[in-house]
Amino acid sequence: MVNYESVMKEEGFFGSLVIRNLEEFKQAYYVLVTNRKDEVLADVAGKVYTRDLFGGD
C-alpha cells in the first residue's frame, strides 16, 4: 500500500510508502482509494474508489 500525504515528513507510515507529490501519486497507480471525493481527483475519476457517493462525507 502507498499513502499520499503532502505534509508528512516521514518516508513511511505503518510499513507503507508515503508519496508527497499528488501528480506522481495519481499517475503511478491503477486504483486510488479515498475517504472523500475531491476536485483534485477529477482527472483520474475513473480509478477513484470511495464510499463518499454524494460528495459530502
| pLDDT band, very low/low/confident/very high, at 45 (cuts 50, 70, 90) | very high
- The per-residue pLDDT for range 2-37, each reduced to its tens digit, is 888 888 888 888 999 999 999 999 998 899 988 888
| pLDDT band, very low/low/confident/very high, at 55 (cuts 50, 70, 90) | confident
- Which residue bears the cell 508515503? 18
Is residue 57 included in any domain, yes or no? no
The count of structural domains within the chain is 1
Is residue 19 included in any domain, yes or no? yes
Q: Where are the beta strands (DSSP E) in the chain?
A: 2-4, 12-13, 16-19, 32-34, 48-50
Is residue 12 included in any domain, yes or no? yes
**Once rounded to an integer, what is the mean pLDDT over residues 35-50?**
91
Q: Which DSSP helix (H) or strand (E) runs through 22?
A: helix 22-28
- Report yes or no on whether pTM surpasses 0.75: no
